[in-house]
Amino acid sequence: MRTQVAIIGGGPAGLLLSQLLHRRGIDSVVLERKTKEYVLGRIRAGVLEQGLIRLMEEAGCAERMHAEGFTHDGTQISYGDEMFRVDFAELTGTSVMVYGQTEVTRDLYAAREAAGGKTEFNVEDVVIHNADSAAPHVSYRVGGAARRIDCDFIAGCDGFHGISRQAIPLDVRREYEKIYPFGWLGVLSETPPVNHELIYANSPRGFALCSMRNDKLSRYYVQCSLSDSPGDWTDRAFWEELKRRIPAAQADQLVTGPSIEKSIAPLRSFVTEPMRWGRLFLCGDAAHIVPPTGAKGLNTAASDVHYLYNGLRDFYENGSSRGIDSYSENALKRVWKVERFSWWFSSLLHRYPDQSEFDLKIQIAELEFLRSNKAAQLAMAENYVGLPY
């Protein structure tokens, strides 16, 4: 088989790239290790920046998002029983949208299917060949049969555990990593959200987050130990712990119910450089990971897709390689700013095992500074709604 762009990974980055390219008449094939049902079963991001909203529009996939997504003009931040609001609309003139990654992915799959796009599921043993030559190809197996795709370019959109990053030789690749000494236990429940905006909560017992998918579906998280497993947490234990970490006024109003999903995610900051090697381009979680505090993972995957899509367009439409040549540099400049924000926001809100009494006082001082200082709020808001691209 031959295509212009072979895309490894059928998560949001790979699908969005494929659909954007299709709209410009550029052919691609998506290779996904799992089934569509599996990909759509993963509960992940919930907050979209304007940049991703615009890309969904450009991809022709924004109708349901605009009908069902919720615009959020601000967020709440609490510490103990204190709570304050950062008003994104007033500070930056823009907002974010609450619309789940699951729904984004569902809309993208629907668009690829309607357009007759080629997606191979259940692929195994994907190997990238000759990425540093003018004629790369990808080999893989599906149902035991060996297959091969010849292409002009390869987009490595296969997430943190994918194979694309490993195809860049070790003497070229540099990796930067920070592992956090805790995880997030997340619960999805068919209950009305405790608040109409998100609450990011710093508490002496650890971080908590009150989020949502819609007015009948809530998503909550509590900071937990890395040695915990979801089975260690009964629903009752989860709700009790969440109530202890948010202000009493909100805890009193919390509607609890059975969890319909419960999972633990470790927290990590990670960047690989460069994001391009020859004709291979890394996109999204394949190249970088942020801790979820600040909701930046999916959104940063989208900004990579923006740079790569425009570079490939420039190549096919104008015969220029300027965009693809500057892809890694441009994407990484923004990635590092997002890494900084996600690291900072995580540091502000979590309990760390080695925190001293001094460190705790500094954390509260920083929260009170943020509460009272418009310049600090503006810096936070600009990052939260998404740095421009």
Three-class SS state of 230 = helix
User: Considering only residues 220-239, where is the footprint of ligand PHB by CB under 6 A?
Assistant: none
Query: Cα 202 vs. chain centroid, distance in angstroms?
Result: 22
List 51, 74, 162, 183, residue binding ligand RFL (CB under 6 A): 162
- Binding of ligand PHB by 294 (CB under 6 A): yes
What whole-number distance in Å separates Cα of residue 167 and Cα of residue 136?
12
User: Which one of ligand RFL, ligand PHB, none is in contact with 293 (Cβ closer than 5 to 8 A by kind)?
Assistant: ligand PHB
Q: Is 305 left (phi over 0), alpha (psi -120 to 50) or beta?
A: alpha
Helix axis angle for 357-372 and 374-385, nearest 10°, is 90
Cβ-contact 155, 281 below 8 angstroms: yes
The residue to which tokens 């699951």 are assigned: 102
User: Which one of ligand PHB, ligand RFL, none is in contact with 117 (Cβ closer than 5 to 8 A by kind)?
Assistant: none
Binding mask 171-210 for ligand PHB (x = CB under 6 A): ---------------------------x----------x-
Segment interacting with ligand PHB (CB under 6 A) among 3-11, 41-49, 138-146, 273-281: 41-49
Residue with smaller CB distance to ligand PHB, 97 or 283: 97
What whole-number distance in Å separates Cα of residue 75 and Cα of residue 96?
10
Residue with smaller CB distance to ligand RFL, 226 or 248: 226
User: Considering only residues 252-311, where is the footprint of ligand RFL by CB under 6 A?
Assistant: 265, 284-285, 292, 295-299, 301
Q: Which of 99, 140, 180, 200 is catalytic?
A: 200
Buried b (16+ CB within 10 A) or exposed e, 127-142: ebeebeeeebbbebee
Straight-line distance from the first to the last Cα atom of the chain, in angstroms, rounded to the nearest whole number:
34
**Closest CB 298 distance from ligand RFL, rounded Å:** 3
- Binding of ligand RFL by 183 (CB under 6 A): no
Residue with smaller CB distance to ligand RFL, 91 or 185: 185
Q: Closest by alpha carbon to 293, among 240, 339, 259, 261?
A: 339
In the complex, the residues that contact ligand PHB under the rule CB under 6 A are 45-47, 198, 209, 211, 219, 292-295
List residues with catalytic annotation.
72, 200, 292, 296, 384
